[in-house]
Structure 1
Amino acid sequence: MHHSRLSTLVFDCRTADLKQAADFWSQALGKPVVSYDQDGDGKYAELATLADEPIILLQRVDHDSRVHLDIETDDLEAEAKRLESLGARRIDLVRGRWWVMEAPSGQRFCVVQKQREAFGPHLNRWE
């Protein structure tokens, strides 16, 4: 048995100025910026969200700008297999920490380890 849930909305931004993108989305969504450099590598900015809301990240990328979802889980391999059984396919294991996957309808999304200390209450339970 494992659990998963919608974790994060990720704004993939093809830009040299992630701060400008973060400021725009902060004002557009009414969510203050928590960090302009979440991991210290200049690739991620984070907006403030409540504990029961999805995390909102902005990610500096080299591909076209888009939005993707992250699904968090307490068992990465079990969740990737479950999604494959629904027709998704694995694209890439990134840094050995998360899977980039593709839905049968063509959208890319990520399966990641749990992102917040409190992992509930809106969990799906899979057996």
Structure 2
Amino acid sequence: MHRSRLSTFVLDCNVDDLAAAAEFWSKALNRPLLPPEPDEPNYLRLSSSEDEPILYVQKVDHDSRIHLDIETDDLEAEVTRLEQLGARRLTFVRRWWLMQAPTGQVFCVLNPQRGPLADKPNANQWE
């Protein structure tokens, strides 16, 4: 048995100025920017409550788009479950799997971002 849930919306921005892109989304969504994480220079996070998905603005070198992250307490089990639904693994990046849905969208599967999923009422439980 394992759990998973929608974790994050990532606004992929092909820009030179990540701070300006994040400022736009901060104002557009009325979400203050959180202080930058020193070890993650290509990411800026917008505030969100515990019951909402995390919102990141990410500097990328591909076309701008939005992608989502699924968090899970068993990375291999969740990736295998998604493969059985038709998704495919693209590559393992640091701590997460980059995957592609059968409909073409790219998404990530990663470990929990805000503590154990057993404590989260909106986590799905899979056998």
Question: What TM-score do you get using the length of structure 2 for normalisation?
Answer: 0.95
CA distance in 2, matches of 1:94, 1:14: 19
Q: Runs ≥4 in structure 1, deviation > 6 angstroms?
A: none
Counterpart of 1:21 in structure 2: which amino acid? A
Task: State the match for 1:55 in structure 2.
Answer: 54
Question: How do 1:75-86 residues align onto structure 2 when only pairs under 5 Å count?
Answer: 75-86=74-85
Task: State the match for 1:123 in structure 2.
Answer: 123
CA distance in 1, matches of 2:44, 2:74: 26
Tell me the CA shift for residue 40 of structure 1. 2.9
Task: State the match for 1:110 in structure 2.
Answer: 108
SS in 1 for 2:3: strand
Question: How do 1:1-127 residues align onto structure 2 when only pairs under 5 Å count?
Answer: 1-35=1-35, 37-95=36-94, 97-117=95-115, 119=117, 120-127=120-127
Tell me the CA shift for residue 39 of structure 1. 4.5
Q: Percent identity?
A: 58
Question: What TM-score do you get using the length of structure 1 for normalisation?
Answer: 0.95
Distance 1:87 1:39, change over 3 A: farther
Counterpart of 2:77 in structure 1: which amino acid? A
Which structure 1 residue ranges, 5 or more long, are not aligned?
A: none
Tell me the C-alpha RMSD between the 2 structures.
Answer: 1.0
Tell me the CA shift for residue 38 of structure 1. 2.5
CA distance in 2, matches of 1:29, 1:67: 14
Which structure 2 residue ranges, 5 or more long, are not aligned?
A: none
Between stretches 40-49 and 54-63, larger displacement belongs to 40-49
Aligned residues: 125
Deviation per CA, 1:66-120, whole angstroms, max 9, x where unpaired? 000000000000000000000000001001x100000000000000100002531
Indicate conservation of the 8 Å contact 2:73/2:116, yes or no: no
